[in-house]
Structure 1
Amino acid sequence: MVSVRTTRVAEQMKKEIAAIIEHQVKDPRIGFITITNVELSNDLRHAKIFFSSLGNEEQQKKSLEGLENAKGFIRKEIAQRIQLRYAPEILFRIDNSIEHGVKISQILSKIKSTEEAEKEQQNES
Structure 2
Amino acid sequence: MSNRRVLKAAQAIREVVSMSILTDLKDPRVRDVTVTFVEVSPDMRMAKVHVSVMGDETKQNLCLKGLQNSAGFLQSKVGRRIDTRYTPKIQFSLDKGMQHAMMVTRILEEVLPKESADNESADNESADAESEDVETVEADDQTDVGSVDAQGLDADSDTEDNSDADSEIETSTDKQDNQM
TM-score by length of 1: 0.85
For 2:24 and 2:3, locate their aligned partners in 1 and report how far apart those are by CA, in whole Å.
31
Residue in 1 that maps onto 2:28: 28
Mapping 1:2-21, distance limit 5 Å: 3-21=3-21
Name the SS of the counterpart of 1:31 in structure 2.
coil
Asked which structure has the greater CA Rg, the reply is: 2
For 2:4 and 2:117, locate their aligned partners in 1 and report how far apart those are by CA, in whole Å.
50
Residue in 2 that maps onto 1:39: 39
For 2:34 and 2:22, locate their aligned partners in 1 and report how far apart those are by CA, in whole Å.
10
User: Which residue identity lines up with residue 33 of structure 1 in the other structure?
Assistant: V
String of CA shifts for 1:8-58, please: whole Å, max 9, x gaps.
Answer: 111111011011111111111111211001011111111110111121111
Whether 1:105 aligns to 2:94 is no
Residue in 1 that maps onto 2:80: 80
Is the alpha carbon distance of 1:42 and 1:116 closer, same or farther for their aligned partners in structure 2, counting shifts above 3 Å?
A: same
User: Which residue identity lines up with residue 80 of structure 2 in the other structure?
Assistant: Q
Uncovered stretches (5+) of structure 2, i.e. residues with no partner: 120-180
Name the SS of the counterpart of 1:29 in structure 2.
coil
Deviation >3 Å, runs of 4+: 114-119
Name the SS of the counterpart of 1:102 in structure 2.
helix
Residue in 2 that maps onto 1:57: 57
Residue in 2 that maps onto 1:123: none
TM-score by length of 2: 0.61
Residue in 1 that maps onto 2:92: 92
String of CA shifts for 1:66-120, please: whole Å, max 9, x gaps.
Answer: 111111111111101111111111110111110100111122222222446799x
Q: Which structure has greater helix proportion?
A: 2
Name the SS of the counterpart of 1:93 in structure 2.
strand
Q: Which structure has greater strand proportion?
A: 1
